[in-house]
């Protein structure tokens, strides 16, 4: 019936009727509908085309199908009907077409070899299976053969043939020894695709008697073994002279030594060969060569590249493997075998053929009476496959005629079908390499519309996302679908909607106003039906604060936030993941409402943390990476190499950097010989370096350790390296900081820094100390001392220069010649005082002093400078003496002048000058007397304002604490201040210097005044003090202030008020007992007499007062204490900026720094300052 149905085909099962209806009508069909509709048979399961069975087990040939009504089954064997009832060993499963051949109860598998085909049939048509070829597997024994031992000369090639028995399926070949151990393979020894074992060249170790080839038959799970093969390898060195003498030149044991040979191909033979492979299979090409040295194989494709991602090399590149080959892989492949003596190549011409494969497989048709349709069957292959059609398993040429059917090559065209046109059609595509068979039915149905989506189904979607409203339907002819919104809405049209063929309505971007009721209507010529669904729109779930990338140190604490916003009708769930997996079951992980906290972070917590928020409608997520950093782990495996006398190489392996790159390595050393247990810094190298060349000193027992450093800190030190003791040598260096300084006038003390232990370079460290007087033609005087740091030379002249040097030496010799240092013998006190001391007074607080330098010979030491002693004798204005306090200024170097700051004006001073060296001070110069001129005075010591009246105030003051000259007068300035703190016109009065009080008259009553007061000398005005006071309202107020509390009328008034309060309290008590209320006390409190106020008494003056607006101090003024005195503002000049030593310092040129003048408060301009003056009423309220 069908030809060439023998090569493998696609195992894709035929599509079920349900899926085909969905594909055709784009609607889902439920089980109830399927039960009501007729359906042609469909093959759902069948055995493979080439079916190899185990001859020891029952044979099961599968054939399952479905249809409505249920199909019946029949079989053919080798093209003829297979009558199952006549064979007692064969049964068919109930409600199935699957055959079971009973082999285990006496049947033989060989009797059932053949080609089987299943047919499933009902009233709507017949479907057929593939041709199923049944073959029992075979695992035959090896044929017995006599195997001769293989005697091979060393270096020759060898092939051990396997030649396994032909089995079904072919066996898997491998080589083992008697101990069932696989024989090792390499570039020199390997197994070919045919199972033979190839030796490119034999070696003496290849000699053995148990080369055994095994064949494994997987289907029957058996292994067959070939007889062992013996190989013996001979070399000329192992042959004795007797055997060698009996061998001819042409014998296999020719007396030639082992020589190298160029490559020769063992397989394939010749220079070219061909290979045919089918599309989709695996292409295997092999080249195995002999030669000495062992050749190396390389593969190329002529005129192209080997396909990327599909090319693999196996068996030490002797096998080229290309998977999933296609026609494009056809071409010439060249293998090249090469060794040092030459090369050989072989070209394999590959042709890729193709069994048939589908381009368009036929699909089931569901048509209604009168409709048209087509079945298309298109396939490709190499060569091009032929297409043939069958109807219900019968070639269409001899099948019953159907006027609605027309065959056109690979297409069947149906026109105006009727119910009798229902049938199952088979398409067979075949070529010489195989065939394809596909069943496709034509089912002609007449059904009114049905909507399968449940009524009033509720759809909930997130705003701004697509909404898909289902209208699953069925009908034949295919119904038309229309959608409406609302009960009486118009038909939906427009770009805002998408109408799918399966009836689904899509709203691509659903908005809040998209919510509501939607109606689906399905109609065909046999009827009409409708259904309603509901749509709700929800707000999207959002993560408004996402977790952020964190870097945390080990053992710290870290938190990730995940704050969300969601629709109020949806219940979100928050899940945290680590590296896309569940969080560890660890109490350190604390999951809160909107955060994840990890306590006591460890290295294993490193990773990506994801917050996932799920609702029933949407899901959002956000991730952040946690990087756990820590100090690096210590380096390890320290190794010392390249040991030399003065250098060594240290290498190490870095420890884990713990997510913070290592920036450097610190290398330390221990000297176990001189300072055991003490580690010293050696060097530091970049973090990318793992070796260091270290400089060494002689006579040190070194061990090293390495410390890694990153941004977090330093690692623990590594384990110490092995110890390395360097040889002794003479010292490389001499002591440092050599000095020669006398401690007494007749000695020279030579000091130095001793060498450290590892600097000694050997045992017996000593020092050679040498000295001689400079600029005198003397020989060096030397002495060798022990390992000390000082030597004293006695009997030297006072302060003369010496040349000094100290040289190190040990038992092996001297250090290099040391450099010379200039020192001096001891100093003595200077002998003379500076002369010609002169003083130039610059102003009232500053003077300049000059002197002549002393001769350097009289200094008798290092000239350090000059000291100026000065002190105040008396003030010219007071003519009174006080305790003398001397001040000292030091001027470094050979200076001859200096500045004296901070002097008091109008005073008499004395000074002297002394020269200074390292030993001390010389004699003082004769005292020099000088006087300072007058200066401006300090502020008056106090200012008191008393006896206020309606129009006058009395001012009293004290003279300045520091007049700084002869006072010539006082200046008083005052001005009134109104309620808005504005200043009135300024009045100035000059007062003689001998006055200490003043009565100001003709002032305004009840007015606040501000006063400014200072003193003058002939030089100018000093700093001022300020004060404020107020005149009273009238004389009665003044008297009232003093004696109001003793007036009879006041006492009587107070008694009357007390009596009235007592009477009101009694009345209130009586009314309360009668049930009434009379809040007398509250009313009295609310109307308290404002004149009943406490009164302040003072020393005859009106004290300070305050009203609602008088709480701020006046600008540039101050309130005085209760005694109306103002303390002076003292200002002392400092000497820190003028001289050195205890008291101060000058600039290099002796000039002074800064200005020396007292601060003055700016004179107030009229109207520029403001103060607060109370109204007369407020003043009255303060006084009563």
At residue 1046, the pLDDT reads 57
Q: Is 250 left (phi over 0), alpha (psi -120 to 50) or beta?
A: alpha
At residue 222, the pLDDT reads 86
Q: pLDDT grade, residue 151 (50/70/90)?
A: very high
611 pLDDT more than 70: yes
At which residue do the structure tokens 């048939």 appear? 356
Q: Which DSSP string do the residues of 88-107 spell out, in sequence order?
A: TTEEE-TTS--EEE-TTTT-
At residue 1177, the pLDDT reads 31
Which range is least confidently modeled, 624-638, 746-760, 1068-1082?
A: 1068-1082
3-state secondary structure 859-927: HCCCCCEEEEEEEEEEECCCCCECCCCCEEEEEECCCCEEEECCCCCCEEEEEEEEEECCCCECCCCCC
Mean pLDDT of the chain: 84
Which one, of 466, 477, 579, 485, lies nearest residue 522 by Cα? 477
Tokens of 793: 């030379």
Q: pLDDT grade, residue 478 (50/70/90)?
A: confident
CB 437 within 8 A of CB 362: no
CB 983 within 8 A of CB 1028: no
Q: Write the pLDDT tens digit of every residue in 1011-1068.
A: 999 999 999 999 999 999 999 876 555 454 444 555 677 788 888 899 999 999 888 8
Q: What is the number of H-type helices and E-type strands within the chain?
A: 8, 85
At residue 146, the pLDDT reads 82
17 pLDDT more than 70: no
What's the sign of the alpha-carbon dihedral 271, 272, 273, 275?
positive
At which residue do the structure tokens 């090319």 appear? 311
Mean of pLDDT values over 735-764:
91
Instruction: Compute CA distances 983 → 90, 973, 1023, 1105, whole Å.
Output: 133, 13, 21, 20
The strand pairing partners of 467, in sequence order, are: 507
Mean of pLDDT values over 85-112:
90
Number of residues assigned to the chain = 1184
Spatial separation of the C-alpha atoms in residues 720 and 1042, rounded to whole Å? 97
872 pLDDT more than 60: yes
Spatial separation of the C-alpha atoms in residues 1068 and 1060, rounded to whole Å? 12
Q: pLDDT grade, residue 766 (50/70/90)?
A: very high
Spatial separation of the C-alpha atoms in residues 168 and 136, rounded to whole Å? 8
- Alpha-helical segments (H) within 442-562: none
Q: Write the pLDDT tens digit of every residue in 379-395.
A: 999 999 999 999 999 99
Tokens of 249: 């030149």
Q: Write the pLDDT tens digit of every residue in 528-546.
A: 999 999 999 999 999 999 9
Spatial separation of the C-alpha atoms in residues 867 and 384, rounded to whole Å? 122
State what percent of residues in the chain have pLDDT above 90.
68
Which range is least confidently modeled, 359-368, 950-959, 1066-1075?
A: 1066-1075
552 pLDDT more than 50: yes
Q: Write the pLDDT tens digit of every residue in 820-832.
A: 999 999 999 999 9
Q: Is 162 left (phi over 0), alpha (psi -120 to 50) or beta?
A: alpha
Q: pLDDT grade, residue 476 (50/70/90)?
A: confident
Which range is least confidently modeled, 14-18, 292-296, 526-530?
A: 14-18
Spatial separation of the C-alpha atoms in residues 765 and 787, rounded to whole Å? 6
153 pLDDT more than 90: yes
Tokens of 756: 């450290």
CB 117 within 8 A of CB 130: yes
At residue 238, the pLDDT reads 62
**C-alpha neighbours within 13 Å on the C-beta side of residue 155:** 14
Q: Which DSSP string do the residues of 679-713 spell out, in sequence order?
A: EEEEEEEETT--EEEEE--SS-EEEEEEEEE-SS-
Which range is least confidently modeled, 483-487, 921-925, 1040-1044?
A: 1040-1044
- Most confident stretch, 27-31, 659-663, 874-878, 1121-1125: 659-663
Q: Write the pLDDT tens digit of every residue in 575-586.
A: 999 999 999 999
Mean of pLDDT values over 641-647:
91
At residue 1118, the pLDDT reads 38
Q: Which DSSP string do the residues of 1053-1082 spell out, in sequence order?
A: HHHHHHHHHHHHHHHHHHHHHTT----HHH
Spatial separation of the C-alpha atoms in residues 438 and 230, rounded to whole Å? 56
At residue 776, the pLDDT reads 86
Higher-confidence residue: 905 or 244? 905
1141 pLDDT more than 60: no
Which one, of 127, 138, 193, lies nearest residue 170 by Cα? 138
917 pLDDT more than 80: yes
At residue 615, the pLDDT reads 94
At residue 31, the pLDDT reads 62
1174 pLDDT more than 50: no
Which range is least confidently modeled, 162-171, 702-711, 1139-1148?
A: 1139-1148
Q: Write the pLDDT tens digit of every residue in 827-860.
A: 999 999 999 999 999 999 999 999 999 998 899 9
At residue 1090, the pLDDT reads 35
At residue 1133, the pLDDT reads 39
877 pLDDT more than 90: no
At residue 7, the pLDDT reads 31
Q: Write the pLDDT tens digit of every residue in 494-514.
A: 788 999 999 999 999 999 999
Query: Do strands 378-382 and 969-977 pair parallel, antiparallel, or not at all (unpaired)?
Result: unpaired
Which one, of 528, 564, 529, 530, lies nearest residue 545 by Cα? 564
For the entire predicted model, the pTM comes to: 0.48
CB 332 within 8 A of CB 349: yes
660 pLDDT more than 80: yes
27 pLDDT more than 80: no
Higher-confidence residue: 1181 or 519? 519
Which one, of 1130, 1149, 1128, 1129, lies nearest residue 1138 by Cα? 1149
């Amino acid at each position: 019936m069908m030809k060439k149905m023998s090569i493998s085909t696609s195992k894709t099962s035929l599509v079920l009727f349900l899926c085909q209806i969905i594909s055709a009508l784009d609607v889902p069909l439920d089980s109830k509908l399927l039960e009501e509709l007729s359906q042609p048979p469909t093959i759902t399961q069948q055995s493979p085309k080439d079916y190899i069975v185990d001859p020891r087990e029952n044979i099961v040939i599968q054939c399952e199908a479905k249809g409505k009504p249920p199909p019946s089954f029949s079989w053919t064997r080798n093209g003829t009907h297979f009558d199952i009832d006549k064979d007692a060993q064969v049964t068919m499963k109930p409600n199935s077409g699957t055959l079971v051949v009973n082999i285990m109860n006496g049947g033989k598998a060989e009797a059932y070899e053949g080609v089987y085909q299943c047919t499933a049939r009902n009233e709507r048509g017949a479907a057929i299976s593939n041709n199923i070829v049944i073959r029992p597997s075979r695992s035959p024994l090896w044929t017995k053969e006599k195997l001769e031992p293989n005697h091979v000369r060393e270096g020759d090639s060898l092939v051990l043939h396997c030649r396994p028995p032909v089995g079904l399926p072919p066996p898997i070949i491998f080589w083992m020894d008697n101990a069932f151990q696989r024989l090792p393979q390499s570039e020199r020894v390997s197994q070919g695709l045919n199972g033979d074992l190839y030796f490119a060249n034999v070696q003496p170790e290849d000699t053995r008697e148990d080369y055994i080839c095994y064949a494994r038959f997987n289907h029957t799970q058996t292994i067959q073994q070939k007889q062992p093969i013996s190989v013996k390898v001979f070399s000329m060195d192992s042959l004795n002279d007797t055997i060698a003498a009996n061998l001819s030149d042409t014998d296999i044991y020719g007396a030639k030594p082992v020589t190298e040979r160029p490559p020769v191909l063992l397989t394939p033979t010749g220079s070219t060969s061909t290979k045919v492979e089918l599309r989709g299979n695996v292409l295997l090409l092999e080249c195995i060569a002999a030669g000495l040295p062992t050749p190396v194989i390389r593969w190329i494709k002529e005129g192209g590249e080997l396909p990327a991602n599909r090319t693999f090399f196996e068996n030490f590149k002797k096998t080229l493997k290309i998977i999933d080959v296609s026609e494009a892989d056809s071409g010439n492949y060249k293998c090249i075998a090469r060794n040092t003596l030459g090369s050989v190549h072989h070209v394999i011409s590959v042709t890729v053929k193709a069994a048939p494969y589908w381009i368009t497989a036929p699909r089931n048709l569901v048509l209604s009476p009168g409709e048209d349709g087509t079945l298309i069957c298109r396939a490709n292959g190499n060569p091009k496959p032929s297409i043939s059609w069958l109807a219900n398993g019968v070639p269409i040429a001899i099948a019953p005629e159907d006027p609605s059917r027309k065959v056109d090559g690979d297409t069947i065209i149906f026109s105006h079908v009727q119910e009798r046109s229902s049938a199952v059609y088979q398409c067979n595509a075949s070529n010489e390499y195989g065939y394809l068979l596909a069943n496709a039915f034509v089912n002609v149905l007449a059904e009114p519309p049905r909507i399968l989506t449940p009524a009033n189904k509720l759809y909930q979607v997130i705003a701004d996302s697509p909404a898909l409203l289902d209208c699953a339907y069925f009908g034949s002819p295919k119904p038309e679908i229309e959608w409406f919104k609302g009960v009486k809405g118009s038909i939906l049209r427009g770009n805002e909607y998408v109408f799918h063929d399966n009836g689904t309505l899509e709203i691509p971007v659903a908005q809040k106003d998209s919510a509501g009721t939607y109606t689906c209507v399905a109609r065909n010529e046999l009827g009409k039906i409708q259904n309603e669904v509901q749509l709700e729109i929800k707000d999207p779930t959002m993560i408004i604060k996402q977790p952020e990338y964190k870097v945390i140190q080990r053992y710290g604490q870290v938190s990730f936030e995940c704050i969300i916003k969601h629709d109020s009708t949806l219940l979100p769930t928050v899940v945290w993941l680590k590296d896309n997996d569940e969080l560890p079951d660890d109490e350190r992980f604390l999951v809160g409402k909107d955060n994840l906290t990890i306590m006591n972070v460890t290295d294993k917590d490193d990773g990506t943390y994801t917050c996932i928020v799920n609702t029933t409608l949407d899901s959002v997520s956000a991730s952040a990476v946690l990087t756990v950093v820590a100090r690096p782990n210590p380096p390890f495996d320290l190794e010392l190499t390249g040991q030399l006398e003065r250098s060594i190489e240290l290498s190490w392996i870095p420890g884990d950097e713990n997510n913070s790159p290592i920036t450097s390595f610190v290398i330390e050393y221990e000297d176990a010989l001189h300072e055991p247990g003490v580690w010293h810094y050696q060097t530091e190298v970049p973090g990318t370096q793992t070796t260091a060349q270290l400089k060494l000193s002689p006579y040190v027992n070194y061990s090293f350790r390495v410390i890694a450093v990153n941004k977090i800190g330093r690692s623990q030190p590594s384990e110490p390296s092995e110890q390395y003791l360097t040889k002794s040598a003479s010292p490389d260096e001499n002591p440092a900081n050599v000095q020669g300084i006398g401690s007494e006038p007749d000695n020279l003390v030579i000091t130095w820094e001793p060498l450290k232990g590892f600097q000694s370079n050997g045992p017996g460290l000593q020092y050679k100390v040498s000295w001689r007087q400079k600029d005198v033609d003397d020989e060096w005087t030397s002495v060798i001392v022990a390992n000390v740091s000082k030597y004293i030379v006695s009997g030297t002249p006072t302060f003369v220069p010496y040349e000094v040097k100290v040289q190190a030496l040990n038992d092996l010799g001297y250090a290099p010649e040391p450099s010379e240092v200039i020192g001096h013998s001891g100093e003595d006190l200077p002998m003379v005082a500076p002369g010609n001391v002169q003083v130039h007074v610059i102003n009232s607080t500053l003077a300049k002093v000059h002197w002549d330098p002393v001769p350097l010979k009289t200094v008798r030491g290092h000239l350090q400078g000059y000291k100026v002693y000065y002190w105040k004798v008396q003030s010219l204005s007071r003519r009174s003496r006080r305790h003398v306090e001397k001040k000292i200024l030091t001027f470094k170097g050979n200076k001859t002048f200096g500045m004296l700051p901070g002097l008091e004006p109008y005073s008499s001073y004395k000074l002297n000058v002394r020269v200074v060296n390292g030993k001390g001070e010389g004699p003082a110069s004769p005292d020099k007397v000088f006087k300072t001129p007058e200066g401006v005075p300090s502020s008056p010591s106090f200012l008191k304002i008393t006896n206020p009246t309606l129009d006058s105030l009395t001012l009293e003051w004290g003279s300045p604490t520091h007049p700084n000259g002869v006072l010539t007068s006082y200046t008083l300035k005052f001005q009134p201040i109104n309620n808005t703190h504005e200043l009135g016109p300024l009045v100035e009065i000059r007062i003689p210097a001998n006055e200490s009080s003043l009565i100001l008259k003709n002032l305004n009553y009840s007015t606040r005044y501000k006063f400014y007061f200072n003193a003058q000398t002939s030089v100018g005005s000093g700093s001022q003090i300020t004060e404020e006071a107020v005149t009273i309202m009238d004389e009665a107020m003044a008297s009232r202030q003093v004696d109001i509390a003793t007036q009879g009328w006041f006492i009587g008034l107070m008694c009357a008020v007390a009596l009235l309060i007592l009477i009101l309290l009694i009345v209130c008590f009586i009314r309360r007992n009668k049930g009434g209320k009379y809040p007398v006390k509250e009313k009295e409190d609310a109307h308290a007499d404002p004149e009943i106020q406490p009164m302040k008494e003072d020393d005859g003056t009106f004290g300070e007062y305050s009203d609602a607006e008088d709480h701020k101090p006046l600008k540039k003024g101050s309130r005085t204490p209760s005694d109306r005195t103002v303390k002076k503002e003292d200002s002392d000049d400092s000497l820190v900026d003028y001289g050195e030593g205890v008291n101060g310092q000058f600039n290099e040129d002796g000039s002074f720094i800064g200005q020396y003048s007292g601060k003055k408060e700016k004179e107030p301009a009229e109207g520029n300052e403001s103060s607060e003056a109370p109204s007369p009423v407020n003043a009255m309220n303060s006084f009563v």
